Amino acid sequence: MNDSVGTAIDGALVFADISDVGRKTRELVDIGYDGIYAFEGANDGFMPFVIAAEHAKTQVLSTQIAVAFARNPLTLAYQANDLQMLSGGRFILGLGTQARQNIEQRFSMPWGKPVTRMRDMVGAIRAIQHTWQTGERLNYRGEYYSHTRMQPMFTPKPNPHGPPPIMLGGIGRPMTKLAGEVADWFVVIPFSTPQFVRDVTLPALAAGRAVAGRPPEALRVAAQCMVVTGANERSFAEAFERTRAQIAFYGSTPIYAKALDAEGWGDLHPRLRALSRTGQWAEMSALVSDEMVRRFAVVGEPAAVAKLLHTRFAAWADRVSLMTTYLLDAEVAARIVGDFKQLRSGGISSLDQRAPD
Distance CA 165, CA 177 (A): 18
**CA 208/CA 157 separation, integer angstroms:** 33
Is the predicted pLDDT of residue 60 greater than 70, yes or no? yes
- How much is the pLDDT for 348? 38
Q: Answer with the residue of higher pLDDT: 43 or 147.
A: 147
Domain assignment of residue 134, yes or no? yes
Does residue 285 sit within a domain?
Answer: no
Please state the rounded mean pLDDT for residues 286-310.
97
Average pLDDT over residues 6-21: 95
Share of residues in the chain with pLDDT > 70 (%)? 95
Question: Is 276 inside any structural domain?
Answer: no
Q: Where are the beta strands (DSSP E) in 159-296?
A: 166-170, 185-188, 220-228
In angstroms, the CA 316 to CA 339 distance is 19
The answer to the question of residue 201 being in a domain is yes
Separation CA 6–CA 277 (nearest Å) = 43
CATH of the domain at 128: 3.20.20.30
Residue 250 belongs to some domain of the structure? no
Q: How high is the pLDDT of residue 99?
A: 86
352 pLDDT above the threshold of 80? no
Helix (H, G, I), strand (E, B) or coil at 24: helix
Q: Which residues constitute the domain of residue 106?
A: 8-230+299-353
pLDDT at 77 over 70: yes
- Summarize pLDDT for 97-146 with one digit per residue, the tens: 988 989 999 999 999 999 999 999 999 999 999 999 999 999 999 999 99
Q: Is residue 138 assigned to a domain?
A: yes
**Residue 283 domain-assigned?**
no
The model's confidence at residue 5, banded by pLDDT at 50, 70 and 90, is: low
pLDDT in the model for residue 2: 41
In a domain, 253, yes or no: no
Q: How many domains does the chain have?
A: 1
